[in-house]
Amino acid sequence: MVSARPAGARGIEEILADARARLVRVTPRQAHAEQAGGSVLVDIRPAALRAAEGEIPGSVVIERNHLEWRLDPASDARLPWVSGYDHRIIVFCSEGYTSSLAAAALLDLGLYRATDMTEGFQGWRAVGLPWSAAGAGSVVLAPGAGPAVVSPGGATALAPG
């Protein structure tokens, strides 16, 4: 049963539009070029999705539930290389929706050069950019990020503990 939306609540489409209005989003080809120039591609997909789809070599895996803590320069849980607010961080997910919300959260932290990649990993693969099968060792796992594991039958699974 759907009840009336509470006063002041916004729908996800409005929240997404507001997030994207704050971002200068990049295409997969632009993200690839920026990665070659030193920008950090951050994969926020969960391990099971990375296992099913594949991974972008050289990307840093920070699952969505850890993102702000790992990238906030003022956080005790930040990654060692996060030393200031001027890092060029390009967030991606599977199709480019959740990454917009995540990149907007990074802007809120003061990471003023953060953005996301349009079309996500699916768009990256569609234009023929380099990718690897899950578990190939081509990505950096941030603390808390689970490795993507493909079971012998080809089905995805999460790595134990």
Query: Over the stretch 73-117, which tens digit does the pLDDT of each residue have?
Result: 999 999 999 999 999 999 999 999 999 999 999 999 999 999 999
pLDDT in tens, 42-51: 999 999 999 9
CA–CA separation, 129 and 123 (whole Å): 9
Q: What is the dihedral of CA 32, 35, 40, 43, to 10 degrees?
A: 30
Residue 74 in any domain: the answer is: yes
Q: Does 145 map to a domain?
A: yes
Q: How far apart are CA 46 and CA 40, in angstroms?
A: 18
Total domain count for the chain?
1
Q: What is the CATH number of the domain that holds 75?
A: 3.40.250.10
User: Containing domain of residue 144, as a range?
Assistant: 12-158
Q: Is 4 domain-assigned?
A: no
Whether 68 is in a domain gets the answer yes
Q: pTM of the predicted model, to two decimals? A: 0.90
Q: Is 6 among the domain residues? A: no
